[in-house]
Structure 1
Amino acid sequence: MFILTIDQKASRTGSDLIPDALAEFARLAPAHITAGPERTVGDELQLATDDAGTALRIILHATRTQHWSTGVGLGEVETPLPASIRSGRGPAFIHARAAVDRAKSDPTRVAISGGPGATDAEALVRLLIDVRDRRTDKGWQVSDALAEGLSQQEVAQRLRISAAAVSLRARAAGLRVEEQAVPALVRVLAAADAQAGA
């Protein structure tokens, strides 16, 4: 199981982002979220998923805005999960708490704890986040448009630039690197979780 504990950064000096985040995280993969998302304490939310792809999707979404520190706990939980994730128990919850505390002091804003595979998974996820953190607004424009299913030609028409310019932006944004990395990272996360639960 993947327990994600997501804490709002600088919440005392900014607005409460939790209500919008709850809706957004629930929208990302409703079929694979087994508990939550739910506000747990103050400026923090938590959710559980048994799907590595969903966990990675939420990690990448949370770290993109730089408003959140994300801790991921791997391993077993007591089942059945309670109606409120705040009552959840088990090693994965403990690992998630330790991970979010480490994430707060890391430039990538993410940490993964639990089992022997967590260190490798964390290192590789942080590499991808570092690539994404270097992406410019123009790079994100292309990334978001392609994620909608548009072709490069359609992206060029929308942005009123040439198809060659779209290709250049995509290359500079590391979109091909991310496209290749995501399936591999899903497998790494799934293997790490399986090891943690063994």
Structure 2
Amino acid sequence: MPYVLTVDRQAGRQGWDRGADVPTALPFERTAGDEFQGVLADPAVVVDVVLRLVREGGWSIGVGAGAVQTPLPHSPRVGAGPAYLCARRAVDAARQRSVRLAVRGAVPPDAADAQAVLSALAVVVQRRSAQAWEAIELVGAGRTQADAAASLGISRQAVGQRLAAGLWELERELRPTAARLLTRAAG
């Protein structure tokens, strides 16, 4: 089931690379003004893209979960279907929320649950220190805590403290939950 992401730049933001390294069903492209849109097939990738945008800051993020008209067109700008309508409603709602993200879907209660989990993840990501990010990036790339410690010139215990302070374990637990809820929201 596809997911449509509609993302709007807040005033004064520079452009995002629009997911150049993201596996998409339809690549991200500018749709109108400061907005861009893409279609993704994997809910785990949706979670990843949302959290990347949250980390960068300055975006209103709308996730639409549901059906799209097939076959897919050459561009997300000409796509149609309920997921597109949900993404439009979601980005409009995101502009009014403090976390600046919203989810709308074919199954509204599950979309609300997905939004709640993604919002909690967004708060975790937004509040991380630069030191926590250093440790998380290394360990998240597959390095051991000992390797990360050596790279950062700190003790293994300090890496563990940075991971704990950055709520890395909680993020790892909530990501698949968010993806499952997105799947349910799509119907």
Alignment partner of 1:101 out of 86, 92, 96: 92
Corresponding residue number in structure 1 for 2:9 = 8
Corresponding position: 1:169 with 2:162: yes
Corresponding position: 1:26 with 2:16: no
Corresponding residue number in structure 1 for 2:145 = 152
- Code of the residue aligned with 2:117 in structure 1: it is L
Identify, as 1 or 2, the structure richer in helix.
Answer: 1
Cα shift at 1:94: 0.9
Separation in 2, partners of 1:77, 1:184: 23
Separation in 1, partners of 2:84, 2:20: 19
What whole-Å deviation, never above 9, does each CA across 1:30-75 have from its counterpart, x for those lacking one?
2xx1112111112111000121111111111111111211100111
Q: TM-score under structure 1 normalisation?
A: 0.88
Alignment partner of 1:78: what SS?
coil
Contact 1:4 1:46 in 2 (8 A): yes
Q: Percent identity?
A: 36
Alignment partner of 2:70: what SS?
coil
Instruction: List gaps (5 residues or longer) in structure 2.
Output: none
Alignment partner of 2:28 out of 18, 37, 42: 37
Tell which deviates more after alignment, 181-190 or 155-164.
Answer: 181-190
Corresponding residue number in structure 2 for 1:84 = 75
- Code of the residue aligned with 1:39 in structure 2: it is R
- Code of the residue aligned with 2:3 in structure 1: it is F
Contact 2:63 2:87 in 1 (8 A): yes
- Code of the residue aligned with 2:86 in structure 1: it is H
Corresponding position: 1:178 with 2:171: yes
- Code of the residue aligned with 1:48 in structure 2: it is V
CA RMSD of aligned residues (A): 1.3
Contact 1:66 1:109 in 2 (8 A): no
Contact 1:40 1:86 in 2 (8 A): yes
Alignment partner of 1:149: what SS?
coil
What whole-Å deviation, never above 9, does each CA across 1:117-174 have from its counterpart, x for those lacking one?
1111111111111122221111111111112211101111111111111111110100
Separation in 1, partners of 2:149, 2:51: 25
Separation in 2, partners of 1:111, 1:161: 38
Structure 1 residue ranges, 4+ long, deviating more than 2 angstroms after superposition: none
Cα shift at 1:183: 1.6
Corresponding residue number in structure 1 for 2:15 = 17
Separation in 1, partners of 2:67, 2:173: 29
